[in-house]
Structure 1
Amino acid sequence: MSKKSPWLVAYGPGPDAETRVVAFPHAGGSASYFRDWAQHLGPGCTLRSVQYPGRENRLAEPLVPTMKQLAQGVAEALAEGPDDARETVFFGHSMGAAVAYETLRLLEAWGSSSVTRLCVSGRELRAGPEPDAAVIRDDEALMASMTRLGGTRSAVFDDPDLREMVLDIVRNDYHLVDSYRADPAAAPVRADVLALTGDRDPQVDLGRIDAWASVTTGSYARHVFPGGHFYLADHAPRLMGLATRSPAAG
């Protein structure tokens, strides 16, 4: 692809880096959430953050209502990019973990072997309601959920216009997640899998997190950090170190 893809935002230098880290934001999140994470990568790595439609520089574009469509868009952008063959690590948080997993499945089905590690953060493999469950959330329920998880500054809710925009995005993303369920019959991926979570995350049962081991023929490991659903905000250096270290490093 000769032109810059709107799906991927580059943070930090590294056009000649050997390893590309692709970060997938959470529900309601945008590429800029990972803006400062590039500083925690070594000189051999570069960071790309996925920009979902309907936010930041893609604000005028319609929101994507299904996991299939979202993963397809990201996978096509990565497959058509000039550095498709570069060794790649996926890091997805919450909804982003599911998007990263489904994107990886598509890329491997298309014959790509560039993604060597899938880091899934703050999400169980089969989480949330069944696909046919009708989950209706009004503004108050959405704001209560966002406040409970700690991912949104309270000042956002004080501005009516900003609140409306954010709630529209979150409502779309929650519907996307609620209507998604990982296929238990899906072929396992070849990339190594690393599961990451906070020890006080209300959305993750530590007794079920290791179900991620079943999706890969590669290696599997998990790491539990102090914190809630957005534990990652306090552990970015450690997380990027884990994501990019070689298997021999343990």
Structure 2
Amino acid sequence: MNSETKILIIEDEQPISRFLSILIGGHDYSVKTADSAKLGLQIAANWSPHLILLDLGLPDLDGLKLIDQIRAWSNTPIIVISARNQEQDKVATLDAGANDYLTKPFGSEELLARVRVALRFAHQENIATPTRFQMSDISIDLGLQKVMQDGQTIKLTKTEYNILKYLCKNAGKVLTHRQILKEVWGNNYIEHSHYVRIHIAQLRRKLELDPAQPLHIITETGVGYRLINTVACE
């Protein structure tokens, strides 16, 4: 997949842009770079990258506004790489439509892992929306609306199931409290983040081997949740 996979880096700091280009290109991805939002948008439209790495602090346009412009016509995965490390910055970025957020400075292996996850799930979405997932010894069948463990049905409430379904469909991606609330409860509940915390705790008690140290439903502190270590079966 790598040789045909195109990654666009939108970063105005040349040392970082060169580092990212060498790192990404060294793993056989096809890479193009842009040092402004205007140029990045042009390349994104004409080149159709499979993934965009985006810095928020661009000289001609704030990265959040650029995400809005890209999301108006494209679902290309976007990983934000930024020095902004406040929780509200991460939440605003993910709510704007970014798939992931990595704070500078970061490790090369962590970045490459995030890239692989974003590309893998984007690839799965392009083939077909998976309906079956495996979480350790728990199987989740969205088509049959069943959650099983060793042949036994795990009883979930409607709300718990809808949260789990949303997490599965976005496995590997950080979902903010606001995104989960909007999807499961509706627009009138987007300020009630405690609803999500309560139901996530209930889900963990039913699905995690050790709810206090979850292996699958991971908390992104102050931001939301991410489903990991879960395999799409079809």
Structure-2-length-normalised TM-score: 0.39
Higher helix share: 2
Which structure has greater strand proportion?
Answer: 2
Higher relative contact order (CA 8 A, sep 6+): 1
Bigger Cα Rg: 2
What's the TM-score once normalised by structure 1's chain length? 0.37
